[in-house]
Structure 1
């Protein structure tokens, strides 16, 4: 694949950037003094925590955890174009672990730590820090649920063999263990630093770690101005990889998308994230910018139905709406066609086990009306259609198009714009009957996707879906080692959600970022944030 499929080239400039009424110095965006390189990144919001096990952390915080903490292992990466990479979900490389062994048919993992690795305060990293960090992870709610998907559930599994050897035991091999150990939930924390700031009421030091770092990653937090900027300085004693070329990284919060776009086109920034789809085409054509655009296969946009609430507890109503939705208009109106459609499949029989994949629904108002009549709603009904106001750029045009289109089949829709602070709670409590949302899965395997989004009493089961047959298929697939048998189980599961329709996927998004020409070795990770460690700037 040629780099020109992803990039356009361009220039340099810059003085000051106004953020929320405050002028922040920009200078020459990518400053170099000898081998010293300062990278400037513009983002929609800033990190809200330094605790990789914390509750309510935002996506920006995942980027912070990636850079200031190490894990035992990390995902390897694949070059998709010259100087552009994406993480390789199937391969791993050591971070704190210089090597590891897989024993007893995968039921025992032994990690050998780098003997010279230290935390930012100079204290050596030990196997006890690894053990304590994982114990903390399985005792705090946000990380506990995720780590359990890799069978990391009990302190009885952890053993400190010696100061630099750590052993994990499992009842049976789980292919999700290593991927979980590569996530930020498995970050290795300076146990002594956190313990020194814990209290009887807060034995895991949650309050302290939310506002203080305790890592040994490639970067240290040099300055943290909440809601404005975070400055990261390279940790020159880092031993878990090649010393990064970027000596300092400045991440500045620029909430207004037009300002982020303007800054990067003027050369006032090296990287701009969260580009609005409506501006990407213009950026792509700008000779002063390199545009990265990658398909995101583990994220999706969808319309959800609360399957436990009338009238959406009737599958015919859900199917009627799925046949009424104005898919092409939403795809163009909300994201300007920058994504991969998940509607319009020619058949209701999945040809592969991959997921998400296109559903067998396309706009057909006559079929929608017939299904409503069959469900006893010939005259239609009234309902709300909700979205998170923080998601308004994409969700508002979707809501308006849904309102207009469903009116054509007799459904009167009232649009409800829910404050961001209330949105997560309302979804968790299943109080929103009909809405648009977007989400991501940490891993790409279809059985993992089904476990997260189509079962369980938690927020991510967006349709409040309960189906015993699906649950049995997914559980069996989790442990299936024969590929053909696994694929058949997943095709059966896909047929169920095609038919029962707890959610109607709309599209896979595209990850878009704007780079100053010469910025190379950008690596896309699950969280869509910037990993400073592999980045470089070519003269």
Structure 2
């Protein structure tokens, strides 16, 4: 049986944690520290954003204040040890008690539970309509891009039938699977319109600015009871949550800048969950019997290298293909990610989707000779030079960039690495100003048509490579026209679409990486989610477990 994590060295780790995190929250509930009643989390400060329509950043804490009509159920991971993961292609009622689908597959009608918000207001159809109105009206909202083409016009597509019933009508039946997935993800969160409408102003007609400072406008399992920017957050379980109060009553989150300090906090028992850990720390913790490093069967976080197609040298498809052969894939998996990553093929659609096939994909392997051959074919027998942008906030990605820089010389690429602050990196990735860049990223919604569009939508800031190709869009539209996006027939359509993408190679997909978190061995219910945020309401602290 694993040993308990408490040890004499914990005192030193606690001192280091306290120094880094400044201090514990001033109004920590009296129950904090009671075994089984409090979960202590150490995490990097990613800049909290309390609503999807006010930007997109550190959203994990807000995610635990909100709920949607549906959710993806959790199933046990093959790893055991209390680790779970979402069943990403199943959807169960959450704020809704159920839904029906019209015979033509276009209209989804939801019956609402009598849920209450953190402010005590009862969920109604008006909350659903107003939430989507706000998401599509706020200029900083990511919802319109995320929900296109399933929902593009809420006023036309969403209808109140009565106070407890609301319907959504889709452009075609083939979008149904993606729509359900979106409703189970952050885009489907419902806000308390009664509370928010009381705080609208002419300059803030949807109370977006107000809610950025007052986050308890959701129907989720927790409410925020303390927030010290840059230092800490305390979330407290809602006893009146519609699905019952979560098992862990208090969530103490401390923002700790140093990854090593976060790793030591969970190693020595001063934290139950540590996030944003480096591969080296995860590798070290994996051998500690008092710690669990979660692994899932098919992680959706990719290390990827967009090759920006609006400028040389990557305006040439053959040069892009050459770059795909110049990357040392296995070397990065082994040396940077210590084996906590994998690469099944050159693609990016998750292989466990119903109907999935990778037949006919180009086999991009580490082949410097092939890379040089293609560069010569493209008219660059002497090789090419380019600058690769990377964020200083992602040290593992920087290490991967250095591995590529060294290995790609043999393939004819002379790479200069431009390490830049996170804010500058975010700007260049949206503006497509770099020749190429490397990052970790993921699609939250995992239906094939959504994944295929998330990095390719025309005129989108999320089209990292600034690549628009009509044969690809035509193939995607053909798949969307089918009645079931998860059928074997649709699988062939998605295969044809992805094959076009890989042959054009606007992004080199390097590896899928495991979650960068660790939990104490006495913690149960850590669940990998497609949004890569932790659901605190599923977690509990108990006795160590061997299975």
TM-score computed with the length of structure 1 as normaliser? 0.89
Over 3 Å counting, the alpha-carbon distance change for 1:357 and 1:197 in structure 2 is: farther
Alpha-carbon distance between aligned partners in 2 of 1:170 and 1:444, rounded to the nearest angstrom: 19
Q: Which residue of 1 aligns with 2:5?
A: 11
Contact (CA 8 Å) 2:392, 2:421: kept in 1 or not? yes
> Using a 3 Å threshold, how does the CA distance of structure 1 residues 494 and 163 change in structure 2: closer, same or farther?
closer
**Matched ranges for 1:473-488 at <5 A:** 473-481=475-483, 483-488=487-492
Residue pair 1:360, 1:498 contacting (<8 A) in 2 also: no
Structure 1 CA distance for aligned equivalents of residues 439 and 135 of structure 2: 28
- What residue is the counterpart of 1:492 in the other structure? 496
- Separation in 2, partners of 1:525, 1:273: 14
Superposition deviation, residue 473 in structure 1: 0.7
Give the Cα separation in 1 of the matches to 2:99 and 2:468: 40
Instruction: Report matched runs for 1:42-121 at 5 Å.
Output: 42-55=42-55, 57-58=56-57, 60-61=58-59, 63-81=60-78, 82=80, 83-115=82-114, 117-121=115-119
- Aligned partners of 1:10, 1:496: CA distance in 2, in Å? 52
TM-score (norm 2): 0.88
User: Are residue 219 (structure 1) and residue 222 (structure 2) matched?
Assistant: yes
Q: What's 1:505 paired with? A: 509
- Structure 2 residue corresponding to 1:130, chosen from 115, 128, 131: 128
Equivalences for 1:454-469 in 2 at 5 Å? 454-469=456-471
| Residue 195 (str. 1) matches residue 197 (str. 2) | yes
The alpha-carbon deviation at position 478 of structure 1 amounts to 1.9
Task: Report the counterpart of residue 265 of structure 2 in structure 1.
Answer: 263
Report if aligned partners of 2:329, 2:511 keep a CA contact under 8 Å in 1: no
Aligned length: 519
Check conservation: 1:73, 1:181, Cα contact below 8 A. yes
Q: Is the 8 A contact 1:39 1:270 kept in 2?
A: yes
> What secondary structure does 2:537 align onto?
coil
Would the alpha carbon gap of residues 127 and 398 (structure 1) be closer, same or farther in structure 2, given more than 3 Å must change?
same
Moved more, 223-232 or 156-165: 156-165
Offset of 1:524 from its aligned partner?
A: 1.8
TM-aligned CA deviation for residue 409 of structure 1:
4.5
Shift in alpha-carbon separation, 1:170–1:379, aligned structure 2, 3 A: closer
Indicate if the aligned counterparts of 2:305 and 2:437 stay in contact, CA closer than 8 A.
yes
Name the CA shift for 1:296/1:356 in 2 (closer, same or farther; >3 Å).
farther
Equivalent of 1:383 in 386, 391, 405: 386
Superposed CA deviations along residues 364-400 of structure 1, whole A, max 9, x for unmatched, are 2222222222222122233211112212x11222222
Q: Is the 8 A contact 2:39 2:540 kept in 1?
A: no
Q: CA contact under 8 A between 2:185 and 2:531: conserved in structure 1?
A: no
Q: Which residue of 2 aligns with 1:348?
A: none
CA contact (8 A) 1:29 1:270 kept: no
Superposed CA offset, 1:296-346 (max 9, x none): 43221122211221121112222222222222322223212211125679x
User: RMSD of the TM alignment (CA)?
Assistant: 2.7
- Show the 5 A alignment for 1:50-449: 50-55=50-55, 57-58=56-57, 60-61=58-59, 63-81=60-78, 82=80, 83-115=82-114, 117-140=115-138, 141-151=141-151, 153-173=153-173, 174-175=175-176, 176-213=178-215, 214-239=217-242, 241-342=243-344, 353-354=356-357, 360-391=363-394, 393-449=395-451
Q: Structure 1 residues 326 and 534, CA, compared in 2 at 3 Å: closer, same or farther?
A: closer
Give SS of 1:208's match: helix
Report if the CA contact (8 A) 1:230-1:251 is conserved.
yes
Unaligned runs of 5+ in 1: 346-351
Mark the CA change 1:500 to 1:373 in structure 2 (over 3 Å): closer, same or farther: same
Asked whether the 8 Å contact 1:341–1:358 carries over to 2, the reply is: no
Distance 1:143 1:119, change over 3 A: same
SS class of match (2:72):
strand
Partners of 1:225 and 1:260 in 2: CA distance: 18
Between the aligned partners of 2:335 and 2:305, the Cα distance in structure 1 is 16
8 Å contact from structure 1 (residues 10, 290) kept in 2:
no
Deviation (angstroms), 1:28: 13
**Structure 2, unpaired ranges of 5+:** 348-354
1:12–1:516 contact (8 Å) kept in structure 2? no
Moved more, 138-147 or 218-227: 138-147
**Which residue in the other structure is 1:38 paired with?**
38
